[in-house]
Amino acid sequence: MAVEYIVYGADHSYYTGKVRAYMRYKGLNWEERTATQEVYKSIILPKIGAPIVPVLETADGEYIQDTTDIIDFLEPRHPAGSVCPAGPVQRLVALLFELYGDEWLVIPAMHYRWSVIDQQREFILKEFGRMSNPNGSEEEQIAIGEKTSKGFSRMLPALGISEATIPAIEAVYLEFLDQLDKHFEQHNFLLGSRPSIGDFGFIGPLYAHLARDPVPKAIMQERAPNVFAWVERMNNPNPLSGEFLADDEVPETLLPILKTQMKDQLPDVLDAVAKNAAWLEANPGGNIPRFLGMHSFTTGDASGERVISSFAQWMYQRAYIHYQSLQGQDREAADQFLKAVGGYESLSTPMPKRLERKAGQLELVEADS
Ligand SMILES: N[C@@H](CCC(=O)N[C@@H](CS)C(=O)NCC(=O)O)C(=O)O
């Protein structure tokens, strides 16, 4: 093929937005192709084994799914403009924010797409329809959009989005927008003038859903113009430009966001870690199912029930392993930082089993030392 990489995905796809922004920042020789029904049938299902996007295809005929695996694969091949800060505290923050964007901001993103569907129905269904059948008529696209979007709209209860939690989900999101807006008043990206893996985690939800679907787009444009400008920067980057802040500095403006993450997301993730360990005790050597039942969770001042996502551990353990590897002054700096954002106890909680991904699945690789 003429290009070095192809990404199969869609404009309205959360995780495609993450990889797209990354490919552009790295200035790679690539192109994006829509994951049409035909692409699902002839490429994604046979190569990946599951109907999921985005998928990276290399010129050598390798296929990689999961944005984190894709970025891990590309970073060493294209080391210029590393998106992973070398500073120990900045790296910890970048990994935590990737976890937050990938696994927690999905709550407001899916809420603002599907709970308000009546106000943006045509737009959303057409997006889904256009992806499956780009050459179909508008009517055909809407009809197919109805069908292919159902699996996503049905996810709301599993994500903990209910009448009881919606007011808090909105309040927490609006507060997050305000906090991030203040941050981007002063900085181009989360940790300086270069985007990090944390920025790529955030752009998934903050572009595809929250800056593009008509209802949340209007909210972001009006309430958080600096966040909207960051979305545009992420999508039109100056390849390989910028630097992380000197001296491992983490701007004060990010602390309130991390505090919310530590308070709301970390208990959810730590419970998934415990449930995964219990499952593996009971099923030695097995592949953990994607979902392990439901558990209670908190967002802002509301509580509800949501699914226990075994995958969340795999994302979290990247930050955990990094933190646990730190020694001496680096460890002290990270400890002090975590104490300031209310995350010290969580990151100090032992992880009895670590997980490894295997073609769309998870499996145990080693016990914690
Ligand atoms: N963690 C994965 C998630 C990918 C993902 O969930 N993609 C969505 C579209 S944005 C999808 O295809 N979902 C179908 C499914 O989960 O069955 C990644 O980073 O790539």
From ligand 1's centre to the CA of 236, what distance in Å? 23
Q: Which pTM value belongs to this model?
A: 0.95
Tell whether 303 is covered by a domain.
Answer: yes
| Contacts with 191 (C-beta within 8 Å, 6 or more apart), sequence order | 85, 90, 93, 94, 198, 244, 245, 250, 251
From 56, 77, 98, the end of a domain falls on 77
Q: In the numeric block, which tokens belong to residue 138? A: 């508008």
Please tell me whether residues 264 and 275 are part of one structural domain: yes
Please tell me whether residues 244 and 118 are part of one structural domain: yes
Tell whether 99 is covered by a domain.
Answer: no
Please tell me whether residues 125 and 193 are part of one structural domain: yes
The ligand 1 atom nearest the CA atom of 13:
10
Domain that holds residue 181: 106-248
Q: Is 114 exposed, middle or buried (0-12, 13-18, 19+ CB in 10 A)?
A: buried
Please tell me whether residues 163 and 255 are part of one structural domain: no
Q: Is 2 exposed, middle or buried (0-12, 13-18, 19+ CB in 10 A)?
A: exposed
From 248, 277, 293, the end of a domain falls on 248
Pick the residue whose CA is nearest to atom 7 on ligand 1.
53
The ligand 1 atom nearest the CA atom of 208:
10
Please tell me whether residues 228 and 268 are part of one structural domain: no
Pick the residue whose CA is nearest to atom 12 on ligand 1.
52
Q: What is the pLDDT along the chain (369 residues), one digit of tens a residue?
A: 589 999 999 999 999 999 999 999 999 999 999 999 999 999 999 999 999 999 999 999 999 999 999 999 999 999 999 999 999 999 999 999 999 999 999 999 999 999 999 999 999 999 999 998 899 998 999 999 988 888 888 899 999 999 999 999 999 999 999 999 999 999 999 999 999 999 999 999 999 999 999 999 999 999 999 999 999 999 999 999 999 999 999 999 999 999 999 999 999 999 999 999 999 999 988 899 999 999 999 999 999 999 999 999 999 999 999 999 999 999 999 999 999 999 999 999 999 999 998 866 677 776 654
Pick the residue whose CA is nearest to atom 16 on ligand 1.
52
Tell whether 89 is covered by a domain.
Answer: no
Total domain count for the chain? 3
Report helix, strand or coil for 249: coil
From 25, 59, 77, the end of a domain falls on 77
- Cβ atoms of 98 and 148 closer than 8 Å: no
For position 120, which CATH number holds?
1.20.1050
Angstrom distance (rounded) from CA 270 to CA 17: 27
Of 12, 14, 15, the residue with max ligand 1 atoms within 8 A of its CB, to mutate for a pocket test, comes to: 15
